[in-house]
């Protein structure tokens, strides 16, 4: 068993409600949603934090945003709007050390974020 929670989801060792999967990226609903739509978009390659993103990763990191746009559209939030967030390390609230883009929609979001 992997110690990386999201690798366990990728490997189907633990269940998740998957909404998108391709060779490089998987996306699934957050287990503790903070908005009516809360999906995590995750590269299959393990990258621990934003600090660990290399030049070689630029394509897949860009793809996280393309998948977010697609899912937001499928779920009907393109025009209303949505938020994407990636936390880096403890002070920002990162709890799973495998980068992931949060896609949140379906309510009004405040700015600045908490
Ligand atoms: P972070 O705090 O690292 O930015 O985000 C981690 C996210 O993973 C949290 O929103 C949390 O609710 C979610 N999460 C933690 N464990 C699981 C799990 O087992 N399944 C799913 N689908 N989401 C999880």
Confirm whether 43 is domain-assigned: yes
Angstrom distances, CA of residue 71 to CA of 1, 9, 47, 94 = 29, 19, 22, 22
Confirm whether 6 is domain-assigned: no
Selected catalytic residue, list 20, 38, 98, 100: 100
Report pLDDT digits (tens) over 71-112.
999 999 999 999 999 999 999 999 999 999 999 999 999 999
If one counts the domains in the chain, the total is 1
Residue 20 annotated to the active site: no
Work out the average pLDDT over 39-62: 98
| % residues pLDDT > 90 (the chain) | 96
pLDDT at position 114: 85
Q: Is 16 in the pocket of ligand 1 (CB under 6 A)?
A: yes
Confirm whether 75 is domain-assigned: yes
Confidence at 63, pLDDT banded by 50, 70, 90? very high
Q: Which domain holds residue 41?
A: 16-105
The reported pTM is 0.97
Confirm whether 62 is domain-assigned: yes
């Amino acid at each position: 068993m992997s110690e990386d929670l999201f690798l366990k989801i990728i490997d189907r060792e633990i269940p998740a409600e998957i909404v998108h999967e391709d060779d490089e990226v998987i996306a699934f609903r957050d287990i503790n949603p903070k908005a009516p739509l809360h999906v995590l978009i995750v590269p299959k390659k393990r990258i621990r934090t934003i600090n660990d993103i290399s030049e070689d990763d630029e394509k897949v990191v860009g793809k996280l945003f393309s998948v977010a746009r697609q899912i937001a559209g499928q779920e009907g939030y393109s025009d209303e709007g949505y938020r994407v967030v990636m936390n880096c390390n403890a002070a920002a609230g990162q709890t799973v050390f495998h980068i992931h883009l949060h896609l949140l929609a379906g309510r009004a979001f405040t700015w600045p974020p908490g």
